[in-house]
Structure 1
Amino acid sequence: MPRKLLVSSFLFLGLTFAPASSAAGGGGTVTPLASRPEVVRARAAATLPRDRHKQVDALFAPWSGKSTPGCAVGISRDGVLDYARGYGMSDLEHDVPITPRTLFHIASISKQFTAFSIGLLAQEGKLSLDDDIREYLPEMPDSGKTITIAHLLHHTNGLREQGQLLNLAGWRGDDLYTEADILWALTRQRGVNFAPGTEIVYGNAAYTLLAVIVRRVSGKSLKAFADERIFKPLGMSDTRFRDDHAELVPRRASAYGTREGGGWKLSIPNTDHYGSTSLLTTVGDLLKWKQNLLDARVGGQALVASMLTSGRLNDGTVTGYGGGLHLGDYRGLRTVSHDGMEGGYRTEAVLFPDPRLAIVALCNGSTISPTDLTRKVAEVYLGERMKDVMPPAVALPGTELSALAGNYWSPLTDEVVRLEVKDGALRQVGVPTAFVPIGNGAFRPGESMHVWRFSEPAADAPRELSIQDAWPTTRPFIRVTSPMPADSALASFAGQYRSDEVDMTYTVRVADGKLAIRWPRRDEVVLDAVGGDRFVGSLGTVTFTRAASGGIDGLTISNRRLRRLRAERLEGGVRVR
């Protein structure tokens, strides 16, 4: 390379070059050019980003073919784009590849923009986070305890999950879901999951209601408000809330789920509601937003600080959830993040605020885990700053594992978990992840930091289990010791059950030696007995209740986000008393 061109190359890289000095009279030795320290440093500086980018490409390689959905990834460092690339196909039917400009439905990542809109209105004095939501949503039922806007923001409100209510009311997965449908379901509820402020349970109903509050307070839809106050000021020209499922959106990725027998099928949500979901955007636009969480160009430092401040329970417990954002850490480094999952869309956006690194992965295949991918990307960039915090595995005899298998019921949430020993490891029935023993009766599911801890059984008392996951509310469980119902007893559960809260009548019958529950427009759900009057199926735990006479008078349906929805037994069209 000519000497002049070499010098220019170093200057372009921000480096300087000077020839070796000569001895008096011009007789000194000259260090070979390739060995000079400044040349070595320049080459290292030039190749390091390329090496990182190759490592990122390797992480996404399984999703880079022309017959698979995939992801767009974007990485910025201190507000400067470091890398952006698309992998796989945006549209498998028309051979359209994913690029950094592909738009994705980002599902629950949408929540932080709803929260920020509420924060802007609070900043202007148009509402207070301590306001009772019924000031703005008078149609919501009075649960006996005040639910505030802050309870909605921080998932400490106790509201039942909107999608599950609609499913129990007969909506199918591919039906159109509207804001009016959700309000219809929420305003019929006579019960809540828990008293506001006593627990945290993540859900979507709260953020749908927050979108309604934005409209009623500002006089503008959340779509218009966020566009005017957030997206345009930040130059997020490819970002908008979607309120019309039939709208044509150029460059939007389709989404895909797996088809039984192999291959892919379309899996695009039909939603005409937003606030909890339904934001369309690109990796580049989300990186602009992540930078705003660092420099507060829009909203100001006070509002951004409130977004990054965790909610608290009534007893002062920190929840780890701010304004539509998970506030946590990964291998010793602080994180501000959120994921999304709806239809076949899988999304994740994470900010490491101290090194000022932001990573966004937006994917369109249901089997892709963008959360895992973004954390692996972070290890490529920040691995030398990370700690090994995973609790090590300990050996546990098979007999001790077998002693832990069985059915466990939570008196708090009314959930049931079923555990078995399979392939030499403790697992949840139907879940492939193995539990790893870490000592003192505790296990972690796979490579997660969640802890499942078993107590030593006391004399004449069932074994207890506590589950601590990403949320601070520990869920207690006790082993189910009630005997399984005899086959002859199953017929006593059969009949019709009516729930006014979802305007639905359920039919329970005996089919092939098991109970099954069905309701209009939905596939029948087979129920497995777990002991006594309690059964489990794909909709959660079904518990039959008894009157003082001992006869069955109803049932309740429960899962993590919807507890004890009651349906009363009918005989001749009349409720059993």
Structure 2
Amino acid sequence: MLRKTFLFLGLLLAPAIAAAGKGPDRHRQVDALFAPWSGKTTPGCAVGISRDGVLDYARGYGMANLEHDVPITPRSSFLIASISKQFTAFSIGLLAQEGKLSLDDDIRKHLPEMPDHGKTITVAHLLHHTNGLREQGQLLNLAGWRGDDVYTEADILWALTRQRGVNFEPGAEVVYGNAAYTLLGVIVRRVSGRSLRAFADERIFKPLGMTDTRFRDDHTELVPRRAWAYSAREGGGWRSSVPNVDHYGATGLFTTVGDLLKWEQNLIDARVGGQALNAMLQTSGSLNDGTATGYGGGLRLGDYRGLRTVGHDGMDGGYRTEALLFPDQRLAIVALCNGSTLVPADLTRKVAEVYLGDRMKTVMPPAVKLPEAELSVLAGNYWSPLTDEVVRLEVKDGALRQVGVPTAFVPIGDGAFRPGESMHVWRFSAPTAGSPRTLSIKDAWPTFRDFTPVTAPLPVTSVLATFAGLYRSDEVDATYTVRVADGKLAIRWPRRDEVVLDAVGGDRFVGSLGAVTFTRAASGGIDGLTISSRRLRRLRAERLGVAEAPKATATVDPR
């Protein structure tokens, strides 16, 4: 009880202490990190830091509501987006402890409406993102939902139960996605007989004294002290960016930095749930070949500069959030932000350096210099046979970059690059006789994705006309119209704006919806198309009408 009292008093008094200049030097260093977001004309963040379970600092920076001049405080409530997943996983773990389900259960035991994809998808596959299910938001977008539409649990189930394909065989890969955790939320309700909201409130939030925390299952519900969310407007300024969702499990939790620090402490002392459940949440899943995924139960398991970390980030609408725990040093850092251009994952790690910098190692691979001529030979279009993704690279302002992405690639030697200051690795192989240069990408997950150069020539305008037509996908109940507009292909479907497709070679194109690949019948005529991205592979649409043989040969457009 005494600890709770100190925590509450700390939350109330921290801003005043900082304003009076009485905080220790480390607090002033934290303030400096968030200084760009501390004004009255921008969104910002609430930040909370605890050491050994005791609040060390909490403060708000920037505005919770730009229209009404409401500042962010430590008691401001934020949608924490994907940080919600660990509470869904914890609820599943509680039910497993009670013998009401098993992590080895086929999900169709609890979700009989899900299609049989030929291989068993288990509850554990959902927890660890090794399930292969297509991304729910992208499915609904391709079915015609707009960004400001209300997305419901029923809508997501409608889309998932229509799917005839998956991204990969369960356990073969790890690909982060939201569909799994929406389904886990449904499983909690069906197994326990109570909504995830009611279950988590009774079994997690009330026992931990998280009185400002709740899953929101109705987007019209009023949330006390809510921080509104914003995204950057082209040309300057901000616009409202609050997601309209009536589903939860993958997202949907509103909380404050003070409440979230109570939960972070539970990840250490396991006061609620016990050590066995705590260990389950913090144990990595594994692939069929035994490779550890680095993802537990709604938690990313990693390290930062040589120190073990447990945490998660979140992104939904204009909300950007991060909860980061250094369990061995008993340091927890929470940053809840309400502007789309903020990167709390970077900020929390800079805060960690203030507190733990003397214990950290320098692990960032050093940059090496490469002449622009060597960079130029790496530019071009690359395609992944595994995922059907297309990556486009260019040399701009003296650096290798992804087309449309500002982050420069930093060469680190032996054909490898890192994007900016991240630890991701993009590695190019040297071409050999009979084999072209290839690209392998390793991001936050343990395995590389291999890409090969797209060598097919770009189609000329007369060839583009052969792709035009209507294409139907029953999996999302949508018909797509492909036409030639201003010398490029464009695709449109009901209720969505037309998307321009850039040719990358042969039958492959890219646009804001991902990679679009046209397929051909044995006659050579185009009989359909597939749409692919990182979290959704080869969603097929059949061409309506008889496939026609190509009318011209694809050659490089001389323009």
TM-score, L = length of structure 1: 0.91
1:109 aligns with 2:75: no
Count how many residue pairs are aligned between Structure 1 and Structure 2.
Answer: 529
Checking the alignment, whether the CA contact within 8 Å between 2:40 and 2:71 is kept in structure 1 is yes
Deviation, 1:48, is: 10
Check the 8 A contact 1:569/1:576 in 2, yes or no: no
Q: What is residue 424 of structure 1 aligned with on the other side?
A: 398
**What's the offset of the Cα at 1:249?**
1.2
Q: CA shift at 1:187, angstroms?
A: 0.0
Deviation at 1:576, TM superposition (A): 8.7
Per the alignment, residue 24 of structure 2 pairs with 50
Cα deviation for residue 462 of structure 1 reads 2.1
Q: Is the 8 A contact 2:524 2:548 kept in 1?
A: no
Partner of 1:38: none
Letter in 1 for 2:119: K
Q: Is the 8 A contact 1:408 1:416 kept in 2?
A: yes
Q: Which secondary structure does the structure 1 equivalent of 2:481 belong to?
A: strand
1:286 corresponds in structure 2 to 260
Aligned to 2:40: 66
Identity across aligned pairs (percent)? 85
2:343 and 2:104 map into 1 onto residues whose CA distance is: 36
Query: Quick check: 1:243–1:273 contact (8 Å CA) kept in 2?
Result: yes
- What do the CA deviations read for 1:301-356 (whole angstroms, capped 9, x no partner)? 00000100000000000000000000000000000010000100000000000110
Give yes or no for contact 2:58–2:74 (8 Å, CA) kept in 1: yes
Show the 5 A alignment for 1:321-470. 321-470=295-444
Matched-pair contact (CA < 8 Å) for 1:72–1:98: yes
Structure 1 counterpart of 2:473: 499
Deviations 1:546-567 (A, max 9, x none): 0000000000000000000000
Question: Could you tell me which of 283, 289, 293 is aligned with 1:309?
Answer: 283
- Go from structure 1 to structure 2 and tell me whether the alpha carbon gap of 1:372 and 1:156 turns closer, same or farther (over 3 Å shift): same
- C-alpha change, 1:460 and 1:285, in structure 2 (3 Å) is same
> Cα distance, 1:135 vs. partner?
0.1
Query: CA contact under 8 A between 2:300 and 2:310: conserved in structure 1?
Result: yes
Shift of 1:230: 0.2
Give the one of 237, 247, 266 matched to 1:263: 237
**Pair 426,48 (structure 1): closer, same or farther in 2 beyond 3 Å:** farther
Q: Secondary structure at the match of 2:522?
A: coil
Distance 2:174 2:446 in 1: 8
1:460 is displaced (CA, Å) by: 3.0
The residue type equivalent to 1:510 in the other structure is V
Matches within 5 A, 1:213-224: 213-224=187-198
Aligned partners of 2:281 and 2:298 also within 8 Å: yes
d(CA) in 1 for partners of 2:275, 2:217: 31
SS, match of residue 462 in structure 1: coil
Query: 2:186 is matched with which residue?
Result: 212
2:199 to 225, 238, 243: 225
Say whether 1:195 aligns with 2:151: no
Q: Cα distance, 1:261 vs. partner?
A: 1.7
Distance 2:62 2:53 in 1: 26
> Which residue of 454, 477, 483 maps to 1:509?
483
SS in 2 for 1:335: strand
1:570/1:576 contact within 8 Å kept: no
Q: Is the 8 A contact 1:207 1:276 kept in 2?
A: yes
Match of 1:244 among 193, 196, 218: 218
> Could you tell me whether the CA contact under 8 Å between 1:462 and 1:480 is conserved in 2?
no
Q: Aligned partners of 1:461, 1:575: CA distance in 2, in Å?
A: 34
CA contact (8 A) 1:340 1:348 kept: yes
Deviation at 1:486, TM superposition (A): 1.3
Determine whether 1:148 maps to 2:126.
Answer: no
Distance 1:248 1:125 in 2: 36
Letter in 1 for 2:459: P
Residue 88 of structure 1 aligns with an amino acid whose one-letter code is G
CA contact (8 A) 1:462 1:481 kept: no
> 3-state DSSP class of the match of 1:358?
strand
- C-alpha displacement at 1:461, in angstroms? 2.5
Question: 1:174: Cα distance to partner?
Answer: 0.4
* Separation (CA, whole Å) in 2 of partners of 1:220 and 1:118: 13
Q: Which residue of 1 aligns with 2:68?
A: 94
What CA deviation, in whole Å up to 9, does each residue of 1:141-192 have, x standing for no partner?
Answer: 0000000000000000000000000000000000000000000000000000
Once residues 221 and 104 of structure 2 are traced to their aligned partners in structure 1, the CA distance between those partners, rounded to angstroms, is: 37
Q: Deviations over 1:394-447 (max 9, x none)?
A: 111211111100000000110000001111110000101111111111001111
2:521·2:547 contact (CA, 8 Å) conserved in 1? no
Any stretches of 5+ residues in structure 2 without a counterpart? 1-20, 550-559
| Distance in 1, Cα, partners of 2:368 & 2:508 | 34
* Cα drift, residue 250 of structure 1: 1.4
Matches within 5 A, 1:495-574: 495-571=469-545
Distance in 1, Cα, partners of 2:447 & 2:514: 20
What residue number does 1:17 align with?
Answer: none
* Deviates most, 336-345 or 256-265: 256-265
Instruction: Give 1 or 2 for the bigger CA radius of gyration.
Output: 1
* Residues 219, 244 of structure 2: 8 Å contact kept: yes
Q: Answer whether contact 2:43 2:338 (CA < 8 A) is retained.
A: yes
- What is the TM-score normalised by the length of structure 2? 0.94
> Once superposed, what is the RMSD of the aligned Cα atoms?
1.2
What is the CA–CA distance in structure 2 between the aligned matches of 1:298 and 1:48, rounded to whole Å? Answer: 35
| In structure 2, C-alpha distance between the alignment counterparts of 1:258 and 1:575, rounded to whole Å | 44
- The letter for the 2-side match of 1:566 is R
Distance 1:513 1:446 in 2: 35
Mapped partners of 1:510, 1:91: distance in 2: 44
TM-superposed deviation, 1:63? 0.5
Unaligned runs of 5+ in 1: 1-46
> SS in structure 2 opposite 1:543?
strand
- Counterparts of 1:272 and 1:396 in 2: how far apart (Å)? 50
Residue type matched to 2:304 in 1?
Answer: Y
